[in-house]
Structures are given as structure tokens and as C-alpha cells.
């Protein structure tokens, strides 16, 4: 989903660790960003399948619970330790030994006695092919963690099976593991047992320090990764590889850790600890590429001031760098700029599905009209496309129809809004706030002014952080910040057609108009949402002769994206004629410009409803109105009107 091939290509480029004889590259922590339903998990599945046996990789999903960094490292080490074709067997000696020490129940506070006990246990472990005490120690640790809530039961069951297998790899190489432990920076000393005792004390009892324990475990884990990578990653001659120039340049790949749902509990803590551990090795590029997914934005990547990476809802001005779409992302883009070299993270936005990808998701026999409508209604959001596909099954798509998602079944918002993944916002509360959540000037990152509705501020903040708000791009969207069309359409539809309850659609948009102040464009947006069509035509007729056409078009673009509560059973032709007729009655003494404006605004407004089926007749009506206005204009910049007419003819405006 979300054009997963782009994420695969992006990951392939980041895999390059260096050609033989060249300095290795430093890999980033790449974070694939997208709201609920954008295909993040599916993208990781595609990357996982593409890596296959050719690249050493492992995977962990933070959506299963609240694991500790030690739990994550254990699962990753276990995944890395699989057998890989044409390579030696990985060994995580330092890390496994550290785990044994952390789990061991030494049972005393006497340092000398603890050290002797640990030495005896490890020597017994070395001699015994089936050391039952290590299975019992590991199992006890997992059971305690589960009982205290530190590890959810599903994760605990997995670790109970994996830990003994991982630590048994140390048994035939105990002396080597102890020697290698002394080579780790934080573990250096005359006696490796001293380090193991320190790990045990950090893990248990009154001296427990989870943060320092994590740092020690990460040092051991990364040291094992570096050694295994040197030992296992000769030139990749036998692995499937699409790296540039790979046949003429023998090279090595990084290892890859695939981390899903890092915005869930435990994910960000793990990334912080990992990047801190990697930062302690400034002169040694780590051979570990992390590809993570997140459904929300966090301060590790940037902040409201735009330091390093600018949040996706920040327009492309000011400090910081714009987070790229996956199709435009590259290693050079991340590493080649002085303001991001200091950042370990590379946030990348998952792109919406194209019409062709939507058609593939709907099925081979689905007509093109279905795919185009589904693409427009959902904004290319894969999860929404799947939802719409169920509603559209065996339906005819009629141009100009407004009820294609409602008739004959549950309307989309009834089952979908509850799956938004917002942690602090109730669905009914969100629907009531729809006029404020969809108003373009309020979703702006620095929106100001009273909203008169309770909790609108927190709602807008969470919608931004959950990546439902994006900065606009292209003509007619300059400096605009808008809510995702699928979410905006669902909210407006839910408010307009909710069964009972107060306040309703008209009351809420009247409340929005009351706080719009004296801004004429905002007032026109509210008036159009309330169906006060002639007043909106008045404004644009007044400004047309004098306002620069590009500015006039920008204002029109904002206004005609106002929601509507017009009847679903009435089609485009009927509603347009009703609106134009109302304007004729309001202003009988009309000019040709007024006639064109009435048709343009009515058609554009009805066309922007994402759940209405936009057809070629609407495109032609908008195009013709703009061309006629250009011919009637006395200003010098009519080229903008013709340019927008061309875009309208292709269904790209408004």
C-alpha cells in the first residue's frame, strides 16, 4: 500500500554500506510517516520480503505491547541469528552473556560471594549441554516481567521461547565471550566478571537502574553487530541485489532492523537509547540501518520551531527542512546537508496511492470510473480505499451523484472514524468540532483567535501530530494547511447527517462564522458552508476587476472548499441550477461576469465534495467559466485564469 515499491526502492538505496576499499557510510534511522491507514505495516512487509535472504535483517512490532529495550534487543538478536545463505552463523556472545548476567538470581548482597556464584553458574553452564538453571532463570525473569506489567503476555511467551536459544549460543564459546566482553568500551577492565556483576546490580534490587542497564546492553549488542558484520558481510556476489553499479563494484550492505509502530509505548524510548549508543561511536559508522514506522510526529525529528526537520503541517518557509515524500527521499538528501548531518533520523512521508494503485486494490474488473472516484474520495489513503471498496461493490458510479457512499449500506464515517487512532479525542466530540477542525485557517500551525468550542485546541493539536494535517502544495494551495480529504469529508458528512444530538451542522458553522471576525474570505467560506450562495458571489464579483487574478483565485480556492449539507439525493445538475436560480433572484440586474461567477462558484463548490462523483461535465463547466472570465477581464494577468482553466479541464482544480 501507499506505493510500497517506493519504500522498497528507498530502502535498497540506504542498504549500501560501502564499496570494497571505500570508507563505509553512516546509515540513518529512517522513519516512514503516515496517519492511520496509510500502509505503514504493509510497507514493512514489502521491505521484509524484498530483503529476503540476501540482506541480514530482523523485525519487531511495538504495537504488541510495551516492551523494554532489552526485550526488543533480544527479539532483534534472535532474528539476526537465523541461518543466512552463503554466510557464517551470527553470534551474539557479548549480548547473550550480558542477558545471562541480568537474569541471574545471585541471591546475596556480598560482592565476593555474588562473583563466585556467577562464575560457578557460568562454568556449570559451559560444561552442561542442557543447563536447566538457565532455562529456569530466563523463564523466571519473563514471568516476573509479565506479572509486573513490564512485558505483555504475548511478548513474554515469545521471549520465553527465544531467550534460552539465544543464550545457549554462548555455551561452547564462553571463554571467547568473556574475552570479547572486555573489548566493549563500557565493559573494559581486568575481569569481565566485574562487568557482569555490575549488569546484575543494574537489573535487580535496590541499585536497579533501567536506563544504565539499557546502555550497557546496547553497547554489547552493537559490538556484536559490528563484529558479525565484519565476519559475515563480504562482497555480496551471490545475493539478489539491485544496488547501483553492483556488478562492477564489489560492496557490502548494512544489516537492517525493521521496527513497526515506534509511536506506540516503548518505541521512542528504544530509538532514543539506540541513537545515544550509536552517538558514542563517532569515528565508527554503525553497520545497522533502522527502518521504522510511525503514525505520529515527535520532537526527536523536529519541533514547532522547525529545528532540523520541519513538521509536515509547517508550510515550506522559515527554518528547518521539509520532510520529503518517499519518492523524493535519498541518502544524499539526508547526509548531504549540514543541518541534518547532526540528526540520526530521516523522517519520510508515505505517499498516497495513485489512481492506478487504487484500481489494483479495488480489483482487476473494477471500471476506471470506480478507481477515479475512490481515489478522490479517499485521497489515496490505502485503508480508506479498502473501506470504500466494500461500499462500492456491485454499484454503478454515475457522474454528478452525491450518494455513492451512503445508499444501500452504512455511511463511511459510522465505522471508520472510531479507527482514527486518536488517543485523547472522543469521536462525538470530534464530529461536533468538524467546522473548526476543517477550517483551513484553524489547522494552520500558528492559528490564533477564539474558537468558542471546548477542546478544539487539543483536537487540532492531536490531528496535526497524528499526521492528518499537511501543508498545501501547487498552484491554488500556496501556504495553505489542510486536513486530509478523507477525514475532512467524513467529519463534515457525519455532522450534517448525525441522528439527533446537539449542536448540529448549521449551529456549528454559525459558531465558526461568529469567530471569523472581519476577514471577508473566512466569512465567505462560512456563508458558503451555510448555503448563503448569493453573498459569496457578491464578494467575488466586487473583487474581480481590481484584485490580481492569482490572489483572487487563491481566495476562491479556499472558499469553494467549504463543506456542504446539500441533499445527497439531488445530483449535480439539479443543485447547480438551484444555486444559480437563487443568485438570479437575489440580483436580477446581472452582468455577463456575474453569470459566469455564479456558475463557476456553484460548480466548483459542488465539485470539491470528496464523496460526490465528479464528471467531465463539471470539469468542462469550470474550464469554460474561467476562460470566459479571462476574456472579460481588463487586468494584465489573465494567464493565471487560463492556467487554472487548463487544470480544471483535467480535474485537478479546485
Cβ atoms within 10 Å of 335's Cβ, excluding its own: 14
pLDDT of residue 550: 95
Task: Look at residue 64 and tell me if it is in a domain.
Answer: no
Confidence of residue 190 (pLDDT cuts 50, 70, 90): low
* One domain, residues 228 and 252: no
* One domain, residues 264 and 150: no
**In whole numbers, what is the pLDDT of the chain averaged over residues?**
82
pLDDT at residue 271 above 60?
yes
Taking only the tens place, the pLDDT of each residue in 28-70 is 999 999 999 999 999 999 999 998 888 899 999 998 878 888 8
Q: Residue 158: which residues within 8 A CB-CB, separation 6 or more?
A: 75
Taking only the tens place, the pLDDT of each residue in 144-178 is 343 333 444 443 444 445 555 555 565 556 666 66
- Between 639 and 205, name the one with better pLDDT: 639
* One domain, residues 505 and 579: yes
- What integer is the mean pLDDT of 263-270? 93
Q: 639 vs 630, 636, 647, CA distance in Å?
A: 8, 8, 12
Task: Look at residue 377 and tell me if it is in a domain.
Answer: yes
Task: Look at residue 338 and tell me if it is in a domain.
Answer: yes
Taking only the tens place, the pLDDT of each residue in 553-562 is 999 999 999 9
* One domain, residues 269 and 393: no
* One domain, residues 314 and 429: no
How many structural domains does the chain have? 4
- Between 643 and 405, name the one with better pLDDT: 643
8 Å CB contact between 430 and 491: yes
* One domain, residues 393 and 317: no
pLDDT at residue 596 above 90?
yes
pLDDT at residue 184 above 80?
no
Query: Three-class SS of residue 162?
Result: helix
Task: Look at residue 135 and tell me if it is in a domain.
Answer: yes
* One domain, residues 634 and 491: yes
* One domain, residues 26 and 162: no
pLDDT of residue 83: 81
Task: Look at residue 419 and tell me if it is in a domain.
Answer: yes
pLDDT at residue 223 above 80?
yes
Range of lowest pLDDT (58-62, 95-99, 325-329, 649-653): 95-99
* One domain, residues 220 and 287: no
Give the domain-ending residue among 339, 371, 397.
Answer: 397
pLDDT at residue 181 above 80?
no
Task: Look at residue 408 and tell me if it is in a domain.
Answer: no
pLDDT of residue 153: 42
* One domain, residues 420 and 478: yes
* Torsion sign (Cα): 133, 135, 140, 142: positive
pLDDT of residue 227: 86
Residue 481 host element (H or E): strand 481-483
- What integer is the mean pLDDT of 132-137? 47
Distance between CA 568 and CA 589 in Å, rounded?
32
pLDDT of residue 425: 82
pLDDT of residue 283: 62
Task: Look at residue 61 and tell me if it is in a domain.
Answer: no
* One domain, residues 21 and 98: no
pLDDT of residue 236: 56
Task: Look at residue 155 and tell me if it is in a domain.
Answer: yes
- Best mean pLDDT range from 87-91, 118-122, 272-276: 272-276
- Between 260 and 153, name the one with better pLDDT: 260
* One domain, residues 328 and 436: no
Domain of residue 175: give its range. Answer: 93-232
Amino acid at each position: 500500500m501507499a506505493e510500497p515499491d517506493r519504500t522498497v526502492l528507498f530502502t535498497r538505496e540506504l542498504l549500501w554500506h560501502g564499496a570494497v576499499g571505500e570508507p563505509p557510510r553512516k546509515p540513518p534511522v529512517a522513519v516512514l510517516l503516515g496517519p492511520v491507514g496509510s500502509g505503514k505495516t504493509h510497507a514493512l512487509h514489502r521491505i521484509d520480503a524484498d530483503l529476503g535472504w540476501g540482506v541480514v535483517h530482523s523485525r519487531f512490532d511495538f504495537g504488541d505491547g510495551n516492551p523494554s529495550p532489552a526485550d526488543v534487543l533480544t527479539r532483534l538478536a534472535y532474528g539476526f541469528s537465523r541461518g543466512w545463505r552463503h554466510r557464517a552463523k551470527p553470534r551474539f556472545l557479548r549480548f547473550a552473556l550480558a542477558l545471562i548476567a541480568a537474569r541471574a538470581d545471585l541471591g546475596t548482597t556480598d560482592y565476593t560471594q555474588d562473583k563466585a556464584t556467577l562464575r560457578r553458574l557460568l562454568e556449570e553452564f559451559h560444561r552442561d549441554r542442557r543447563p536447566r538453571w538457565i532455562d529456569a532463570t530466563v523463564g523466571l525473569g519473563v514471568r516476573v516481567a509479565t506479572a509486573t506489567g513490564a512485558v505483555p503476555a504475548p511478548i513474554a511467551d515469545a521471549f520465553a521461547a527465544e531467550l534460552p536459544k539465544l543464550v545457549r549460543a554462548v555455551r561452547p564459546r564462553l571463554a571467547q565471550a568473556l574475552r570479547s566482553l572486555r573489548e566493549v568500551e563500557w565493559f573494559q577492565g581486568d575481569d569481565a566478571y566485574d562487568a557482569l556483576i555490575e549488569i546484575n546490580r543494574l537489573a535487580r534490587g535496590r541499585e536497579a537502574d533501567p536506563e544504565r542497564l539499557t546502555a550497557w546492553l546496547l553497547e554489547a549488542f552493537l559490538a556484536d553487530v559490528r563484529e558479525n558484520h565484519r565476519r559475515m558481510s563480504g562482497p555480496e556476489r551471490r545475493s539478489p541485489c539491485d544496488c547501483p553499479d553492483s556488478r562492477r563494484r564489489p560492496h557490502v550492505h548494512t544489516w537492517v532492523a525493521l521496527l513497526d509502530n515506534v509511536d506506540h509505548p516503548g518505541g521512542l524510548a528504544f530509538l532514543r537509547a539506540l541513537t545515544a549508543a550509536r552517538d558514542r561511536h563517532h569515528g565508527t559508522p554503525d553497520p545497522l540501518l533502522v527502518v521504522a514506522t510511525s503514525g505520529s510526529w515527535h520532537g526527536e525529528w523536529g519541533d514547532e520551531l522547525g529545528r532540523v526537520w520541519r513538521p509536515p503541517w509547517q508550510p515550506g518557509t522559515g527554518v528547518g527542512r521539509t520532510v520529503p515524500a518517499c519518492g523524493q527521499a535519498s541518502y544524499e538528501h539526508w547526509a548531504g546537508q549540514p543541518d541534518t548531518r547532526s540528526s540520526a533520523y530521516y523522517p519520510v512521508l508515505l505517499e498516497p496511492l495513485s489512481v492506478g494503485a487504487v484500481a489494483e486494490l479495488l480489483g482487476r474488473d473494477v471500471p476506471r470510473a470506480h478507481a477515479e472516484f475512490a481515489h478522490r474520495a479517499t485521497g489515496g489513503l490505502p485503508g480508506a480505499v479498502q473501506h470504500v471498496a466494500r461500499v462500492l461493490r456491485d454499484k454503478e458510479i454515475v457522474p454528478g451523484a452525491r450518494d455513492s457512499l451512503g445508499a444501500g449500506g452504512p455511511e463511511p464515517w459510522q465505522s471508520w472514524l472510531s479507527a482514527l487512532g486518536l488517543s485523547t479525542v472522543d469521536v462525538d466530540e470530534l464530529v461536533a468540532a468538524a467546522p473548526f477542525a476543517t477550517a483551513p485557517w484553524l489547522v494552520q500551525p500558528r492559528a490564533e483567535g477564539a474558537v468558542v468550542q471546548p477542546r478544539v485546541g487539543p483536537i487540532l493539536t492531536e490531528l496535526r501530530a497524528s499526521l492528518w494535517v499537511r501543508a498545501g502544495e501547487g498552484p491554488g494551495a500556496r501556504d495553505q494547511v489542510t486536513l486530509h480529504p478523507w477525514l475532512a469529508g467524513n467529519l463534515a458528512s457525519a455532522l450534517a447527517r448525525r441522528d439527533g444530538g446537539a449542536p448540529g451542522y448549521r449551529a456549528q458553522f454559525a459558531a465558526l462564522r461568529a469567530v471569523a471576525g472581519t476577514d471577508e474570505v473566512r466569512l465567505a467560506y462560512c456563508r458558503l458552508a451555510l448555503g448563503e450562495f448569493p453573498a459569496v458571489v457578491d464578494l467575488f464579483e466586487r473583487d474581480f476587476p481590481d484584485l490580481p487574478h492569482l490572489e483572487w483565485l487563491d481566495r476562491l480556492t479556499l472558499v469553494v472548499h467549504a463543506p456542504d449539507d446539500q441533499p445527497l439525493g439531488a445530483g449535480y445538475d439539479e443543485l447547480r441550477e438551484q444555486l444559480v436560480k437563487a443568485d438570479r433572484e437575489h440580483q436580477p440586474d446581472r452582468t455577463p461576469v456575474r453569470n459566469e461567477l455564479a456558475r463557476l462558484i456553484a460548480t466548483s463548490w459542488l465539485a470539491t465534495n470528496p464523496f460526490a462523483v465528479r464528471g467531465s461535465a463539471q470539469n468542462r463547466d469550470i474550464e469554460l467559466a474561467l476562460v470566459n472570465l479571462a476574456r472579460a477581464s481588463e487586468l494584465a494577468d489573465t494567464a493565471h485564469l487560463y492556467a487554472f482553466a487548463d487544470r480544471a479541464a483535467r480535474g485537478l482544480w479546485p
